[in-house]
Amino acid sequence: MVETTRRYVLAKRPEGKPDRDTFELEETGVSDPRHGEVLVRTLYLSVDPYMRGRMRDRESYAEPWDVGDPMQGGVVGEVVESEHERWSEGDRVVGNLYWSEYAVVDGDDLSRVDARAENVTLSSYLGVLGMPGRTAYFGTLEVAEPDPGETVVVSGAAGAVGSTVGQIAKLAGARVVGFAGSDEKVEFLEDDLGFDAGINYKTTDDYRAALDDAAPDGVDAYFDNVGGPITDAVFTRLNVDARVAICGQIALYNEEGVPTGPRKLPQLIATRAKVEGLLVRDFSPRFREATEQLHEWVANGDVEYRESVVEGFENAPDAFLGLFEGENIGKQVVKVAEPSE
Amino acid sequence: MVETTRRYVLAKRPEGKPDRDTFELEETGVSDPRHGEVLVRTLYLSVDPYMRGRMRDRESYAEPWDVGDPMQGGVVGEVVESEHERWSEGDRVVGNLYWSEYAVVDGDDLSRVDARAENVTLSSYLGVLGMPGRTAYFGTLEVAEPDPGETVVVSGAAGAVGSTVGQIAKLAGARVVGFAGSDEKVEFLEDDLGFDAGINYKTTDDYRAALDDAAPDGVDAYFDNVGGPITDAVFTRLNVDARVAICGQIALYNEEGVPTGPRKLPQLIATRAKVEGLLVRDFSPRFREATEQLHEWVANGDVEYRESVVEGFENAPDAFLGLFEGENIGKQVVKVAEPSE
């Protein structure tokens, strides 16, 4: 019998960078699942940059959290108790649950996790086979749309989304250049993932010159996870009819007020480039297609992935805060519990 | 016999705002037209904001002028002498010629002007029936794509392009809001052109609040001729799936270096808006369609236009410089000579 769980709630809205005081750990009761509900034990918890947006008191694509609300997030878990016909004790599931060790949720909101194939792990359903992987899949194929021989630039290239974007673009026959924040990440891109070039933005002064070296034919597609000065530089190197997918702007998320930077719209006239915001849920009717394709690529080794794992539920805030310091290579997850045998 | 002509050349590259010293008036010889060529007498000369870009020493969509090069521009003129089978003395033509009183040009580069229909004038082939009108036509119908009941915002709304954009959007059934730089212009939009609302950006402090009044349902399409703070404000009011056509950024053209402003890309994620650069020549295979449709709208009064006419060839630089002061309502042209009877 599970009677209580630990969970994190939003303790206060951050101004600028969130910190440990943004979160509060509390103990709360767990009710018995009612008809249609399932009690899930968290195995892995996902922390993602977009969650910063939900901490603001402002309507956006994801509903803002109120102070005191439990933090939500992607969870891979195990069914402990089921009152839903589809699920049985021991089933492995993935869903958008809570930063908690246990949760009672509607069984209709869960999907099955199948980690039997080679290279496929439970936690990969929070990364390459989950929301970040699907974001990369649709953003690359439907917005950036690289043709063979074109040059694709990815910012945040060593992250969960960016690392997958680059590999899908390589599969499409493009030359791929990634911006990342350490030499280790650049090696990961070039040596493990097959990127044509990586640029360490923390040790590079002149992003435009670096692009001229790494992308001498200009930029045909840009997948932006970061925003800010990297994006300013890439805009100056766009080719005619370039496509820009705005997926994330993590460099700006902790800025208060309205951050300023170079105005780049005149560049769009010269290039007739198309800049488009990307939100993966717009593609939800095609999620099954994406997950199946990604599963095949991962299982046969065409798409590789890495994960940064923080151990221990209580460390979830640190895992989240590390995203803004660029601490993770690949998907950042929190390991909360061992699966049962 | 025409033996010489006056013409303007680029005297020096402007830093910041161009001024009279940017231009030099010179007298130059006029050769006899060779086979296939035509001698044209300029009646009306067009001055357009994009010409500022050609004064820079930087490759862009229009080739930069060298210092000493003759200024080019749209001209409505009259054939004086023809060695081209299609043209005869007295024909009225339009083409991309020079800031000059006479020019010898390839007859293949000219189009015929037909100013017999009601409301259609010779000079309108430089405005509503010329490049600005076609820009408005394709930018509105192919990029902004307003549906009935949607809200379209236009910046530079009283200019040659903007005033036509708004009327085409009205014909498409949209609610139309225009930003313009004087009360006279706002009256022109609201009273003469049928815009639903005009905003005088020079007397309005808070563009967002003004938009909330004038576009209470948000902005579904934005046709941008101006850039800068107006565009920043409109971006904050974009609806989901909004379309933005970047046609001009006149507020930035005289800025040296890289002007800065609020970073608005996060707004694109929230709205999945699409921002696209617009260059009318990409639609050149469909120019005939556009001109015919615009001619019909103008002749039957569905689309109205106004022109600001500066008299006298020597005043062409002032007409051009006035564009950046917002002096013109509708298309700015220079009247160089009376047509012959």
Contacts of A249 in chain B (CB under 8 A): 263, 265-266, 269
What average pLDDT score do residues B39-52 get?
97
pLDDT for the residue A60: 78
What's the token pair of residue A179?
């911006």
B275 to A278: CB separation less than 8 angstroms, yes or no: no
What average pLDDT score do residues B109-134 get?
95
For residue A281, the chain B residue with the least C-alpha distance is B272
**Whether residue B140 sits in one domain with residue B93:** no
d(CA B120, CA B96): 20
**Residue B268 is part of a domain; what is its CATH number?**
3.40.50.720
Q: Is residue A47 part of a domain?
A: yes
A259 to B262: CB separation less than 8 angstroms, yes or no: yes
Helix (H) or strand (E) holding B45: strand B37-46
d(CA B43, CA B337): 5
Cross-chain CB nearest to B269 (options A271, A274, A279):
A279
Contacts of B273 in chain A (CB under 8 A): 276-277
**Whether residue A247 sits in one domain with residue A140:** yes
Structural domain including B70 reads: 4-127+306-335
Cross-chain CB nearest to B60 (options A61, A270, A275):
A270
* Residues 6+ positions from B227 with CB-CB distance below 8 Å: A263, A265, A266, B155, B246, B248, B249, B250, B251, B252
Helix B131-138 / helix B287-299 crossing angle, nearest 10 deg: 100
Strands B274-277 and B238-246: parallel
What average pLDDT score do residues A294-299 get?
97
A270 to B228: CB separation less than 8 angstroms, yes or no: no
DSSP state of B192: I
pLDDT for the residue A57: 87
For the ranges A15-29, B144-158, B251-265, B317-331, the lowest mean pLDDT is seen at: B251-265
Contacts of A227 in chain B (CB under 8 A): 263, 265-266
Contacts of A282 in chain B (CB under 8 A): 272
Q: What is the ipTM of this complex?
A: 0.90
Q: Is residue B113 part of a domain?
A: yes
Query: Chain B closest CA to A22's CA: distance in Å?
Result: 22
d(CA B209, CA B231): 14
**Whether residue A183 sits in one domain with residue A123:** no
Contacts of A246 in chain B (CB under 8 A): 265-266, 268-269
**How far is residue A83 from each of residues A95, A150, A268, B300, B302, measured CA to CA in Å?**
17, 52, 55, 70, 65
Contacts of A247 in chain B (CB under 8 A): 269
B266 to A260: CB separation less than 8 angstroms, yes or no: no
For the ranges A273-277, A290-294, B264-268, B276-280, the lowest mean pLDDT is seen at: B264-268
Cross-chain CB nearest to A276 (options B262, B272, B279):
B272
pLDDT for the residue A193: 98
**Whether residue A192 sits in one domain with residue A153:** yes
Query: Chain A closest CA to B84's CA: distance in Å?
Result: 34
Query: Chain B closest CA to A59's CA: distance in Å?
Result: 9
Confidence of residue B258 (pLDDT cuts 50, 70, 90): confident
What's the token pair of residue B27?
């007298």
**Whether residue B277 sits in one domain with residue B135:** yes
DSSP state of A173: T
Query: Chain A closest CA to B147's CA: distance in Å?
Result: 20
Backbone region of residue B319 per phi and psi (left: phi > 0; alpha: psi in -120 to 50; beta: other values): alpha
B277 to A258: CB separation less than 8 angstroms, yes or no: no
Q: Is residue B120 part of a domain?
A: yes
Q: Is residue A290 part of a domain?
A: no
Cross-chain CB nearest to A61 (options B60, B262, B270):
B270
pLDDT for the residue A214: 98
**Residue A91 is part of a domain; what is its CATH number?**
3.90.180.10
Q: Is residue A297 part of a domain?
A: no
Confidence of residue A81 (pLDDT cuts 50, 70, 90): very high
Task: Decide if pLDDT at A230 tops 90.
Answer: yes
pLDDT for the residue B61: 80
pLDDT for the residue B81: 97
Contacts of A266 in chain B (CB under 8 A): 227, 246, 249, 252-253
pLDDT for the residue B63: 87
Query: Chain B closest CA to A101's CA: distance in Å?
Result: 30
pLDDT for the residue B255: 86
B260 to A258: CB separation less than 8 angstroms, yes or no: no
Q: Is residue B146 part of a domain?
A: yes
**Whether residue B267 sits in one domain with residue B232:** yes
**Whether residue A176 sits in one domain with residue A203:** yes
**Whether residue B260 sits in one domain with residue B188:** yes
**Whether residue B150 sits in one domain with residue B123:** no
Helix (H, G, I), strand (E, B) or coil at A107: helix
Helix (H) or strand (E) holding A106: strand A102-106
Tell me the per-residue pLDDT of B153-191, one tens digit each, with 9 for 90 and over.
Answer: 999 999 999 999 999 999 999 999 999 999 999 999 999
pLDDT for the residue B259: 87
For residue B266, the chain A residue with the least C-alpha distance is A249
Tell me the per-residue pLDDT of A141-165, one tens digit each, with 9 for 90 and over.
Answer: 999 999 999 999 999 999 999 999 9
Tell me the per-residue pLDDT of B78-87, one tens digit each, with 9 for 90 and over.
Answer: 999 999 999 9
> Which long-range CB contacts under 8 A does B81-90 form with residues at least 24 apart?
B81/B2, B81/B32, B81/B33, B81/B38, B81/B39, B82/B33, B82/B38, B82/B39, B82/B107, B83/B33, B83/B34, B83/B35, B83/B36, B83/B37, B83/B38, B83/B107, B84/B33, B84/B36, B84/B37, B84/B38, B84/B108, B87/B38, B90/B340
In order, the DSSP letters of A126-169 are: GTTTSHHHHHHHHIIIIII-PPTT-EEEESSTTBHHHHHHHHHH
Task: Decide if pLDDT at A256 tops 90.
Answer: no
| Substitution target from A254, A265, A271, A282 for chain B, most B beta carbons within 10 A | A265
pLDDT for the residue B83: 98
Q: Is residue B290 part of a domain?
A: no
How many domains does chain B divide into? Answer: 2
Query: Chain A closest CA to B247's CA: distance in Å?
Result: 6
A227 to B263: CB separation less than 8 angstroms, yes or no: yes
Confidence of residue B59 (pLDDT cuts 50, 70, 90): confident
Query: Chain B closest CA to A227's CA: distance in Å?
Result: 8
For the ranges A59-63, A128-132, B71-75, the lowest mean pLDDT is seen at: A59-63
pLDDT for the residue A259: 87
Task: Decide if pLDDT at A257 tops 90.
Answer: no
A277 to B270: CB separation less than 8 angstroms, yes or no: yes
**Whether residue B324 sits in one domain with residue B250:** no
Query: Chain A closest CA to B222's CA: distance in Å?
Result: 13
d(CA A165, CA A47): 19
pLDDT for the residue A61: 80
What average pLDDT score do residues A24-41 get?
97
pLDDT > 90: percent of chain A: 91
pLDDT for the residue A106: 97
Confidence of residue B235 (pLDDT cuts 50, 70, 90): very high
For residue B267, the chain A residue with the least C-alpha distance is A277
Query: Chain B closest CA to A103's CA: distance in Å?
Result: 29
Cross-chain CB nearest to A282 (options B249, B252, B272):
B272
* Residues 6+ positions from A180 with CB-CB distance below 8 Å: A156, A157, A158, A162, A186, A188, A189, A198, A199, A200, A201
**Whether residue A115 sits in one domain with residue A74:** yes
For residue A60, the chain B residue with the least C-alpha distance is B270
Q: Is residue A19 part of a domain?
A: yes
**Whether residue B116 sits in one domain with residue B19:** yes
What is the residue whose two structure tokens read 């000493």? B68
Contacts of B246 in chain A (CB under 8 A): 265-266, 268-269
B260 to A260: CB separation less than 8 angstroms, yes or no: yes
Contacts of B259 in chain A (CB under 8 A): 262-263
What average pLDDT score do residues B218-243 get?
96
What average pLDDT score do residues B248-274 get?
89
Backbone region of residue A282 per phi and psi (left: phi > 0; alpha: psi in -120 to 50; beta: other values): alpha
Closest CA to B157 of B77, B230, B89, B97: B230
The number of C-beta contacts closer than 8 angstroms across A and B is 113
Mean pLDDT of chain A: 96
Query: Chain A closest CA to B261's CA: distance in Å?
Result: 5
